[in-house]
Copies of this chain bind each other. A is one copy, B any other.
Amino acid sequence: MQRVMLTVAYDGTNYNGWALQPGATTIEGMLNHAIHAVTGEEIRVIGASRTDAGVHAYGNLAVFDTESSIPGDRFSYALNHMLPEDIRIVSSRQVPAEFHPRHCHSVKTYEYHILNSEHRIPTKRLYSCYNNMPMDVERMNQAGRYLVGEHDFTSFCNVDSQAETHVRTLYEVSAARQDDMIIIRVRGNGFLYNMVRIIAGTLMQIGRGKGAPEDIVQMLEKKDRSAAGPTAPACGLFLAGYEINVDNAE
């Protein structure tokens, strides 16, 4: 028996998100299916992040236990042969049997992509949120700095959240323009439901001049979802990657 960890990149466009659902095409379902095709075993992977429908990833994580003798670092090749081109195993490796990708210290980075151009660009429509209004990236950066640190993020969390606590620590919330694309980067030790999309929606409002960067302080204090901006659409969101120490997992 070995526990194998996969680093998984995907285009979320054609999936109903990560988590297995009856009658729906999901990333998890495709992975379970590919592992079955390779090992003959009926396995359910454990995902690190159950991303929503339409959300993309450069590096989500999944682990599974297998009796297969395929070396951990070769699973990426075997599984990529069985997966469609919109899901790629970037790498694979054996991890300690007690390692669990959700019960360990990790730092996660998200990107949110905003196409801020005069006209819509068809080849970018599935991988960004479109907005043609002038947006001041420096104001967005200033607003982002008020979100960095340990805060109660209730205002930046879907009201359906079932998390026991809404306190999380963010290490970076920045915005940068690359030609007509504004990329928001959010790096933190944990994220609430829709948190990055609400941060993106709020920063977009402030970038357009609706409210000031320092308004973030009051939004956090109110601990009320209605204090923050709208939830930006799923297709602009990318789970960029994890920093995780597999061998010293708790």
Contacts and interface: CB of A to CB of B under 8 A. Distances in A.
Interface of A: 9-11, 56, 58, 85-88, 90-91, 119-123, 125-127, 178, 238
Given A87-B122, A88-B122, 19 more contacts: A9-B119, A9-B120, A9-B121, A9-B123, A10-B122, A11-B122, A11-B123, A56-B123, A85-B120, A85-B122, A85-B125, A86-B122, A86-B125, A88-B119, A90-B119, A91-B119, A123-B126, A123-B238, A178-B178
Contacts of A123: 9, 11, 56, 126-127, 238
A121 B58 contact: yes
Contacts of A88: 119-122
A86 B122 CA distance: 5
B90 A9 contact: no
Nearest to A10: B122
A151 to B, nearest CB: 30
Contact of A9 (B10, B86, B122): B122
Contact of A11 (B87, B125, B238): B125
7 contacts: A9-B122, A11-B122, A85-B120, A87-B122, A88-B121, A88-B122, A123-B127
A91 B127 CA distance: 23
Contacts of A120: 9, 85, 88
A93 to B, nearest CB: 14
Contacts of A87: 122
A9 B238 CA distance: 25
A131 to B, nearest CB: 15
- The 3 A-B pairs at the shortest CB distance, nearest first, are namely A11-B122, A11-B123, A90-B119
A12 to B, nearest CB: 8
A58 B179 CA distance: 14
